[in-house]
Amino acid sequence: MTRRLRPGVPAEPSGSQLRRMPRRTPRSNRRYLAVMKLSTVVSLVLASFLAPGVAICQASEDSTKALFQERFDDVLDWEQDWLVEGTGVAWIEDGRLVIQEDSAGVGVVVWTRRDWPADMEASFEVLFSNNRCIGVFFFAARGSTGEDAFETRTHRTGEYEEYIRGDLDNYSLSLHRYFPDGKNNPGSNVRRNPGFHLLQAAMPDPALDSDRWYSVTIRKSGRSIRVSVDGAVTHDLMDETLGGPLGHGKIGLRLRGDRSCRMEIDEFSISVP
C-alpha cells in the first residue's frame, strides 16, 4: 500500500490517497526505548553479583542509547511522526520513505514532528534515483527566537532561501549535489543557518552516485559535528560561532530537483551519543 502525503493533508486518509502496492516482508516499525529488554535486566542482575558498579553502568548506558527507530513499514500512521512541507509529495513504498518534487517545484522537506536533544546521533540510509537533484538534511532546527520550528512554517513555501536566510536556526548537510539539468555542483557542505555560513566543505561528494544506498550518520555533541558516510568520516568540525552551538530541534529531509528524481530514506534512527 502506498500513501502519498502532500503539505497540509490531514492525518486521516481519503480513499483517493491510498493504493495497494507490493511490499517487502514487514519488520518491526518503530520503537520508543524507555525500558530495557528482559535479557538486559537479567544481565544487570547477574552483574550486580559479579562486578557491582562496573557492568551495571555499562549496561545501563547501552540500554538507554536509542531514542527512536523508523523503518517505514506502516503506511497508515507514519505521518504521525513526520510532516511534509513545500512543493512535493512523500509516501511509503516497499518499506521506504519516498520523497519527490512536484513539476516546477521549489523544494520539499519532510520534518520529524519531535524535537531531538542538543547532543544526538541521527542515522539513516538514503538513495537518489538519478543525478538531477540534491539532498539537504537539516538538524537542530528551531525558530530563531527559540520557538518550535513549526510555529514559523505558515509562511514557508519550500524555497531554499526560507531555510538558510529566514527565521529558522539550523545546521544543514548537503549531499548528492546536482542541478535539475544534471550538472554537478562539486563537494558536500555543512552549514549553519540562517546566514548560510560554511562550517566545513568536503571533496569529493561522498554520495555522488545515483541508484545506490548510502549509510549516513550525523553526530552532534556540544560544538562538535561529525558526519560519516558508509562508515568513513567526511566532516569533522567544531562550531565556533559566537553565542555557542545550536541546541535541540527537529530534523528535516529536503529534496530539490527535477521531478524525475526520487529520494528514498530507510532505517532512520535517533540515539544519544
Residues 215-234 pLDDT 10s: 999 999 999 999 999 999 99
User: Residue range 52-68: average pLDDT?
Assistant: 50
Name the region of 41 (left: φ>0; alpha: ψ -120 to 50; beta: rest): alpha
To the question of domain 2-30+71-271 being in CATH 2.60.120.200, the answer is yes
Question: Worst-scoring range by mean pLDDT, 9-23, 142-156, 208-222?
Answer: 9-23
Mean pLDDT of all residues belonging to the chain: 82
> What pTM does this model have?
0.79
Q: How confident is the model at residue 29 (pLDDT cuts 50, 70, 90)?
A: very low
* Digit-coded pLDDT (tens) for 245-255: 999 999 999 99
pLDDT recorded at residue 44: 39
Contact in structure between 167 and 180 (CB atoms under 8 Å)? no
Of 270, 33, 222, nearest to 119 (Cα)? 222
Contact in structure between 10 and 30 (CB atoms under 8 Å)? no
Contacts of residue 239, defined as CB under 8 A and 6 or more positions apart, other chains included, come to 171, 192, 199, 223, 224, 225, 245, 246
Distance CA 9, CA 13 (A): 8
Would you state the cell numbers that stand for residue 52, as one nine-digit string? 557491582
Would you state the cell numbers that stand for residue 166, as one nine-digit string? 529566514
Distance CA 235, CA 242 (A): 21
Owner of C-alpha cell 529566514: 166
